[in-house]
């Protein structure tokens, strides 16, 4: 298995009453006059300590993401943090889940940044791509109606940059470049592995399967995850291959502590981003007109932002949140692995106001006790790491010219 550590890098130290005035909504429009740069500096540096410690205790990968205009995630540029970790770590994979392609106006520059991180890390980068949430489109002044088109075209341009020598010209529907010829190219050939994370978009699941990219389910329920694998497997079969655990990933909220009492106290902080305290985004901002297909809008309306999440106790019961001592966490994760069978597992260690010491304790217990047990469980279940499977995981071997009909 490939086992990762993740945190949204939250900043929950802002006047809660100000967000409560807007019904708990803090994403996008909560004024940045409430941002405390001194506290922000402390949090950024604490996160670096935590990531370095995760490598020390044996975590396989550090998962990083990106959001904008939201205190639930202070990471506004995923490649910047990745570059810091590329220079400071030695062994751990740096997994970007990921760069929001549709909000980028210059995929060439994005290709250069990713290549730089890959070279500095000596080939330890996984380059994941996301469409970006609806609020990201608004925060970056991007028309949400073109989100999927921009995502796919930017992806195709990146693959061509990494797979075919320049210079060449690109004339697409959303990007036009007279000269495409970046000098910096990835160390991994033809490019770093590409993983695709998501929640409820069947179109994205299908697209990932068609490209043989692993799909990472972001804290979906067990039933939702099984439904996603069914869609993925069917799409894989249509394009001529049988998918397996190496194409399956899963992110789960999971806090580990020495005592059950402390684990429950800190585990409840996950409810901050789920809207029990604040941390909500307006439903229209999460899914603005044109952003999603009718089917995806229906699924999202049934499962997500139109109402507050189930209470903490219910989340624990359904294993949407896992919190406990190492033995309790291992037992819960064993059930999840048996029912969802991913070879890629990311443990989301903290949220809200969990302090630095408790975060470090959580990472220690994950690395020293939980993850070794999960590796044995994964071995028994045949969940080999995608890095150990000797089979193609992408369409990298296909000539880019066959994949990319939009060039002239």
What pLDDT, in 10s, does the model give residues 337-395? 999 999 999 999 999 899 999 999 999 999 999 999 999 999 999 999 999 986 444 44
Amino acid 284: pLDDT: 82
Evaluate whether residue 25 is within a structural domain: yes
Query: What is the chain's alpha carbon radius of gyration, rounded to the nearest angstrom?
Result: 20
Evaluate whether residue 408 is within a structural domain: no
Task: Identify the bridge partners of residue 214 per DSSP, sorted by sequence position.
Answer: none
Dihedral sign, Cα of residue 317, residue 323, residue 328, residue 334? positive
Low-confidence ranges of the chain (pLDDT < 50): 304-306, 391-408
Please state the domain count of the chain: 1
State which residues form the domain around 63.
2-403
What is the spatial distance between Cα 390 and Cα 240, in angstroms, rounded to a whole number? Answer: 18
Evaluate whether residue 387 is within a structural domain: yes
Amino acid 211: pLDDT: 98
Angle at which helix 37-56 crosses helix 356-365, to 10 degrees, equals 20
Cis amide linkage into residue 214, ω under 30° from 0:
no
Amino acid 401: pLDDT: 41
- Look at residues 78, 84, 126, 74 and name the one whose alpha carbon lies nearest to residue 104: 78
Amino acid 134: pLDDT: 86
Question: At 171, which helix (H) or strand (E)?
Answer: strand 168-171
Evaluate whether residue 373 is within a structural domain: yes
Q: CB neighbours of 369 closer than 8 A, spacing ≥ 6?
A: 256, 326, 330
What's the CATH code of the domain at 33?
A: 3.20.20.30
Amino acid 147: pLDDT: 96
In this structure, what are the phi and psi dihedrals at residue 337, rounded to the nearest 5 degrees? -65, -40
């Amino acid at each position: 298995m490939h086992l990762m550590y993740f945190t949204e890098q939250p900043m929950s130290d802002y006047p809660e009453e100000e967000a409560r005035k807007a019904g708990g909504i803090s994403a996008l429009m909560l004024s940045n006059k409430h941002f405390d740069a001194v506290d922000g500096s402390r949090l950024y540096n604490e996160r670096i300590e935590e990531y370095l410690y995760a490598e020390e205790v044996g975590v396989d990968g550090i998962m990083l993401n990106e959001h904008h205009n939201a205190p639930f995630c202070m990471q506004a540029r995923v490649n910047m943090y990745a570059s810091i970790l590329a220079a400071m770590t030695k062994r751990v994979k740096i997994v970007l889940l990921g760069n929001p392609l549709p909000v980028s106006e210059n995929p060439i520059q994005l290709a250069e940044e990713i290549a730089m991180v890959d070279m500095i890390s000596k080939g330890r980068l996984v380059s994941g791509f996301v469409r970006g949430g609806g609020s990201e489109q608004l925060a970056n002044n991007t028309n949400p109606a073109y989100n999927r088109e921009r995502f796919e075209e930017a992806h195709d341009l990146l693959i061509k940059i990494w797979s075919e020598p320049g210079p060449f010209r690109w004339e697409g529907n959303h990007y036009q470049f007279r000269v495409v010829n970046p000098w910096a190219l990835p160390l991994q050939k033809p490019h770093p592995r590409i993983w695709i994370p998501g929640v409820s978009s069947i179109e994205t699941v299908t697209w990932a399967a068609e490209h043989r990219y692993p799909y990472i389910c972001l804290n979906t329920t067990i039933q939702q995850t099984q439904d996603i694998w069914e869609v993925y497997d069917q799409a894989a079969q249509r394009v001529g291959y049988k998918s397996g655990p190496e194409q399956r990933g899963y992110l789960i909220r999971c806090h580990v502590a020495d005592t059950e009492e402390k684990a429950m106290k800190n585990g409840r902080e996950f409810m901050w981003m789920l809207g029990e305290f604040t941390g909500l985004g307006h439903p229209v901002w999460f899914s603005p007109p044109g952003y999603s297909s009718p089917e995806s809008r229906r699924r999202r309306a049934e499962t997500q932002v139109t109402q507050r999440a189930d209470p903490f106790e219910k989340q624990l019961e359904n294993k949407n949140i896992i919190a406990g001592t190492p033995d309790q966490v291992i037992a819960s994760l064993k059930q999840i692995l048996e029912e969802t069978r991913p070879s890629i597992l990311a443990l989301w260690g903290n949220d809200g106001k969990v302090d630095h010491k408790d975060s470090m304790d959580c990472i220690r217990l994950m690395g020293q006790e939980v993850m070794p047990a999960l590796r044995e469980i994964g071995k028994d279940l045949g969940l080999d790491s995608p890095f150990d499977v000797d089979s193609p995981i992408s369409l990298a071997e296909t000539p880019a010219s066959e994949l990319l009909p939009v060039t002239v």
